[in-house]
Amino acid sequence: MRLETARLLVREWTDSPADLDRNYDTYRREEVTRWLGAATPLVNREQSPLLMDRRREYYAAHPGYGVWAVEVRATGVVAGSVLLKEMPIPSDGPGRGEIEIGWHLHPDSWGHGYATEAARAVLDHGWALGLTEIHAIARPDNAPSLSVMRRLGMTRVGRTDRWYDLDAEHYMITRPGW
Protein backbone atom coordinates (compact mmCIF):
# COMPACT_ATOMS: atom_id res chain seq x y z
CA MET A 1 0.00 0.00 0.00
CA ARG A 2 1.33 3.38 -0.99
CA LEU A 3 -0.47 6.73 -0.91
CA GLU A 4 1.04 10.08 -1.81
CA THR A 5 -0.01 13.57 -0.80
CA ALA A 6 1.60 16.92 -1.49
CA ARG A 7 4.07 16.46 1.39
CA LEU A 8 3.76 12.87 2.53
CA LEU A 9 4.17 9.27 1.52
CA VAL A 10 1.98 6.76 3.36
CA ARG A 11 3.56 3.31 3.05
CA GLU A 12 4.10 0.05 4.85
CA TRP A 13 6.67 0.05 7.62
CA THR A 14 9.84 -1.87 6.72
CA ASP A 15 12.64 -3.57 8.62
CA SER A 16 15.13 -0.93 7.49
CA PRO A 17 17.30 0.44 10.32
CA ALA A 18 15.78 3.90 9.82
CA ASP A 19 12.19 2.58 10.15
CA LEU A 20 13.03 0.38 13.13
CA ASP A 21 14.81 3.25 14.90
CA ARG A 22 12.02 5.75 14.22
CA ASN A 23 9.32 3.25 15.22
CA TYR A 24 11.14 2.63 18.50
CA ASP A 25 11.76 6.33 19.12
CA THR A 26 8.06 7.09 18.57
CA TYR A 27 6.50 4.24 20.54
CA ARG A 28 8.97 4.39 23.45
CA ARG A 29 7.61 7.80 24.42
CA GLU A 30 5.01 8.10 27.14
CA GLU A 31 3.76 11.34 25.55
CA VAL A 32 2.73 9.22 22.52
CA THR A 33 1.61 5.95 24.12
CA ARG A 34 -0.48 7.55 26.86
CA TRP A 35 -3.10 8.31 24.19
CA LEU A 36 -3.20 4.73 22.85
CA GLY A 37 -5.46 2.96 25.31
CA ALA A 38 -3.77 -0.03 26.94
CA ALA A 39 -0.50 0.47 25.05
CA THR A 40 2.68 0.67 27.04
CA PRO A 41 5.86 2.32 25.78
CA LEU A 42 8.42 0.11 24.07
CA VAL A 43 11.23 -0.66 26.49
CA ASN A 44 14.03 -1.41 24.01
CA ARG A 45 14.75 -1.31 20.27
CA GLU A 46 14.51 -5.12 20.06
CA GLN A 47 10.73 -4.79 20.44
CA SER A 48 10.50 -2.76 17.23
CA PRO A 49 10.96 -5.73 14.83
CA LEU A 50 8.27 -7.65 16.75
CA LEU A 51 5.86 -4.78 16.23
CA MET A 52 6.75 -4.75 12.52
CA ASP A 53 6.05 -8.50 12.31
CA ARG A 54 2.58 -7.98 13.83
CA ARG A 55 1.89 -5.21 11.31
CA ARG A 56 2.95 -7.44 8.39
CA GLU A 57 0.70 -10.22 9.68
CA TYR A 58 -2.18 -7.74 9.79
CA TYR A 59 -1.43 -6.51 6.24
CA ALA A 60 -1.48 -10.10 4.98
CA ALA A 61 -4.68 -11.04 6.80
CA HIS A 62 -6.52 -7.78 5.98
CA PRO A 63 -5.57 -6.51 2.51
CA GLY A 64 -6.07 -2.76 2.22
CA TYR A 65 -5.94 -2.23 5.99
CA GLY A 66 -3.11 -1.72 8.43
CA VAL A 67 -0.84 0.63 10.32
CA TRP A 68 1.39 2.52 7.89
CA ALA A 69 4.41 4.78 8.11
CA VAL A 70 3.86 8.47 7.33
CA GLU A 71 7.04 9.66 5.63
CA VAL A 72 7.79 13.32 4.96
CA ARG A 73 8.72 13.34 1.28
CA ALA A 74 11.09 16.32 1.50
CA THR A 75 13.27 14.73 4.20
CA GLY A 76 12.55 11.00 4.16
CA VAL A 77 11.90 11.14 7.92
CA VAL A 78 8.97 9.09 9.20
CA ALA A 79 6.64 11.44 11.08
CA GLY A 80 4.72 8.55 12.64
CA SER A 81 1.89 6.18 11.79
CA VAL A 82 -1.59 6.35 10.34
CA LEU A 83 -3.99 3.43 10.52
CA LEU A 84 -7.16 2.01 9.04
CA LYS A 85 -8.28 -1.16 10.76
CA GLU A 86 -11.17 -3.00 12.30
CA MET A 87 -11.91 -1.91 15.84
CA PRO A 88 -11.62 -4.58 18.55
CA ILE A 89 -14.63 -6.44 19.87
CA PRO A 90 -16.34 -3.84 22.04
CA SER A 91 -16.78 -4.20 25.76
CA ASP A 92 -20.58 -4.22 25.37
CA GLY A 93 -20.69 -7.27 23.10
CA PRO A 94 -20.03 -8.24 19.51
CA GLY A 95 -18.90 -5.50 17.19
CA ARG A 96 -20.38 -4.79 13.85
CA GLY A 97 -17.14 -4.43 11.95
CA GLU A 98 -16.50 -0.76 12.68
CA ILE A 99 -13.42 0.51 10.88
CA GLU A 100 -11.17 2.92 12.72
CA ILE A 101 -8.83 5.60 11.44
CA GLY A 102 -6.08 6.87 13.71
CA TRP A 103 -2.67 8.51 13.83
CA HIS A 104 0.35 8.32 16.12
CA LEU A 105 3.03 10.91 15.40
CA HIS A 106 6.46 11.46 16.87
CA PRO A 107 6.48 14.64 19.01
CA ASP A 108 8.92 16.36 16.62
CA SER A 109 6.23 16.02 13.93
CA TRP A 110 3.36 17.49 15.93
CA GLY A 111 1.84 20.77 14.75
CA HIS A 112 2.74 20.48 11.05
CA GLY A 113 -0.62 19.20 9.77
CA TYR A 114 0.83 15.76 8.96
CA ALA A 115 -1.87 13.83 10.84
CA THR A 116 -4.67 15.59 8.98
CA GLU A 117 -2.96 15.27 5.59
CA ALA A 118 -2.18 11.58 6.04
CA ALA A 119 -5.65 10.85 7.43
CA ARG A 120 -7.33 12.53 4.44
CA ALA A 121 -5.38 10.23 2.10
CA VAL A 122 -6.36 7.21 4.19
CA LEU A 123 -10.03 8.28 4.22
CA ASP A 124 -9.94 8.43 0.41
CA HIS A 125 -8.34 4.97 0.43
CA GLY A 126 -11.14 3.71 2.71
CA TRP A 127 -13.82 5.08 0.39
CA ALA A 128 -12.06 3.37 -2.54
CA LEU A 129 -12.26 0.10 -0.57
CA GLY A 130 -16.04 0.57 -0.48
CA LEU A 131 -16.38 1.60 3.16
CA THR A 132 -19.48 3.60 3.96
CA GLU A 133 -18.40 4.91 7.37
CA ILE A 134 -15.17 5.31 9.29
CA HIS A 135 -14.79 5.86 13.03
CA ALA A 136 -12.21 7.50 15.28
CA ILE A 137 -11.84 7.69 19.03
CA ALA A 138 -9.64 9.74 21.32
CA ARG A 139 -9.34 10.38 25.01
CA PRO A 140 -11.44 13.43 25.95
CA ASP A 141 -8.34 15.43 26.90
CA ASN A 142 -6.49 14.67 23.64
CA ALA A 143 -7.31 18.07 22.11
CA PRO A 144 -4.92 17.70 19.13
CA SER A 145 -6.51 14.43 17.94
CA LEU A 146 -10.02 15.78 18.48
CA SER A 147 -9.04 18.80 16.37
CA VAL A 148 -7.82 16.49 13.58
CA MET A 149 -11.17 14.67 13.65
CA ARG A 150 -13.04 17.95 13.27
CA ARG A 151 -10.71 19.13 10.46
CA LEU A 152 -11.45 15.87 8.64
CA GLY A 153 -15.17 16.67 8.80
CA MET A 154 -15.96 13.91 11.27
CA THR A 155 -19.08 14.19 13.41
CA ARG A 156 -19.04 13.68 17.16
CA VAL A 157 -21.14 10.65 18.11
CA GLY A 158 -20.59 11.02 21.86
CA ARG A 159 -18.63 9.61 24.77
CA THR A 160 -18.04 5.85 24.82
CA ASP A 161 -16.11 3.11 26.56
CA ARG A 162 -16.87 0.44 23.92
CA TRP A 163 -13.31 -0.04 22.69
CA TYR A 164 -9.88 -0.52 24.24
CA ASP A 165 -11.31 -0.25 27.80
CA LEU A 166 -10.99 3.48 27.33
CA ASP A 167 -13.28 6.42 28.07
CA ALA A 168 -13.20 8.16 24.69
CA GLU A 169 -14.81 10.68 22.43
CA HIS A 170 -16.26 8.85 19.42
CA TYR A 171 -16.36 10.51 16.00
CA MET A 172 -17.57 9.17 12.67
CA ILE A 173 -17.59 10.17 9.03
CA THR A 174 -19.69 8.70 6.25
CA ARG A 175 -18.74 8.16 2.65
CA PRO A 176 -19.31 11.30 0.59
CA GLY A 177 -22.37 10.97 -1.59
CA TRP A 178 -23.52 7.78 0.11
Residue type, 12: E
* Cβ–Cβ < 8 Å for 152, 123: yes
Mean predicted confidence (pLDDT) in 88-112? 85
Mean predicted confidence (pLDDT) in 108-133? 97
At the second CATH level, the architecture of 2-174 is 3-Layer(aba) Sandwich (3.40)
Confidence of residue 94 (pLDDT cuts 50, 70, 90): low
pLDDT tens-digit profile of 30-64? 999 999 876 779 999 999 999 999 998 999 999 99
The answer on pLDDT for 93 being more than 90 is no
Mean predicted confidence (pLDDT) in 92-102? 79
Q: What is the pLDDT of residue 39?
A: 72
Q: What is the pLDDT of residue 38?
A: 62
* Cβ–Cβ < 8 Å for 103, 67: no
* Cβ–Cβ < 8 Å for 99, 125: no
Q: Are strands 99-105 and 2-4 parallel, antiparallel or unpaired?
A: unpaired
DSSP H/E element including 154: none
Could you please report the per-residue DSSP string of 45-114? TTHHHHHHHHHHHHHHHSTT-EEEEEEETTT--EEEEEEEEEPPPPTTS-----EEEEEEE-GGGTTSSH
Report the alpha-carbon distance of residue 78 to residue 73 in Å, rounded. Answer: 9
pLDDT tens-digit profile of 9-28? 999 999 999 999 999 999 99
Q: What is the pLDDT of residue 141?
A: 96
The residue ranges of every structural domain in the chain are 2-174
| pTM of the full structure | 0.93
DSSP H/E element including 170: strand 168-174
